Amino acid sequence: MTIWVWRKLKAPLTRKALSGALVLPVLAAIGLHLESAMFAHRTRSLLLALRNVDAGQTSKGELLRLIPSLNRVQSVNSKCGPAGEIFHMEHSNLPSSRIGQRLFGAIYESSALYKAAYWLGYRPRRTFVDAKIDHGVVTQWAFILGVAPPENHYPGEVQVGISSPISVMRYSESAIADEQNPYFSARRYFKWPEWSLEVSYSRLAATETKDLAVDLHLNCLWSLRGCDNAAQLLPRADEERIRLRRAARQRVTSDEPCPPFIVPAKVRDANEIVLLKIRSATAKQSEWLPQITGVALEYQILHTLELRDTGFRRIPRDKDWFPSVLTYGDAEGSANPSVRLIAPGATLIAFEGRGAAGSPCNLLPANVDILGRVNEAIALKDWSYW
């Protein structure tokens, strides 16, 4: 029996079959890794082209020259208005046919098959680009890249997003960090912080800030290990996120927790901005947090500087209460600097809604400098709703 097997293995046809079984996977792996490297080069070039798109300045024609693969979205449900347009681009190496999708689903459900395909070099990925146009000028753009990680765990995608300008839609945990540099934001989704990173910047951001925001690294895409986390894809942006978070934490515990440079971020994140005068202020213990004391106050609204959403209006109340210690977001455990300003007769600027209510500096003194910065930021309208 052993001699018969040996003879069969030495047969020319058997040797060719064995050689093919060894060579074909190697060739497939080389081809897949090379394809990933080419994709990485094209994607980085695409993002560098988007780097030249300035929201509020770049024309529609210039945008299509920079990104000719964009297509106009034809939709009767578009909320862009009569002078608005949306352009979209989507690339994916996921199977589009029903048979291909079923095969991919079967491979994905099996950890062993998924890891084998991943090691060979098949890295599922998706790329999206969206741009909004108003009266022939780009008002917002967004880039999203999702790549499969080495593990087939839910949600099954490491995702990074880069956009401009900065969106007002976010979680309050990043409130003070986003104020540290009003023209740059880097946020992580709280459910999968290692697998998500959302970076955005203003057209007013410094050149170096814009450069680090789009500095996409895709070496991990064609490496044997693959991409483990979002920070691998945007390392410089994630380093800046960490730096700003630490600096913001130090700021809110310093002698000047609410400097004037945070005003553009306060304006961006507020639904309502009003000028008010304090009538009375008295110490009061919280009714729902017995360990927290604060200041109960009555005030008169002198003027509404900005009101974007009447359904969310919260400022026009006869009474309010400010805790002496912050108990939420990335400033938890810090003294609330707004309490320092509350005194009978004081005139203040109040920010309400979205992230403004979740940060420590939602009351600022209504002096000439602060008021001028508020009005300037309102006029610029440097924000988006993506």
What are the pLDDT digits (tens) for 16-28?
Answer: 444 544 555 555 5
**Residue-range domain boundaries for the chain:** 29-249, 260-380
Q: Which residues of the chain have pLDDT under 70?
A: 1-33, 75-83, 169-174, 289-290, 310-319, 327-331, 354-359
C-alpha span between 126 and 90 (Å, rounded): 7
Give the span between the Cα atoms of 246 and 352, in whole angstroms: 25
Tell me: domain 260-380, CATH 2.40.50, correct?
yes
Q: What is the pLDDT of residue 297?
A: 84
**Virtual torsion, Cα 95, 99, 105, 106, nearest 10 deg:** -130
The pLDDT assigned to 27 comes to: 58
Q: What pLDDT is recorded for position 99?
A: 80
pLDDT at res. 354: 57
Q: Write phi, then psi, for 363 (nearest 5 degrees).
A: -125, 130
Q: What local confidence, expressed as pLDDT, does residue 233 receive?
A: 95
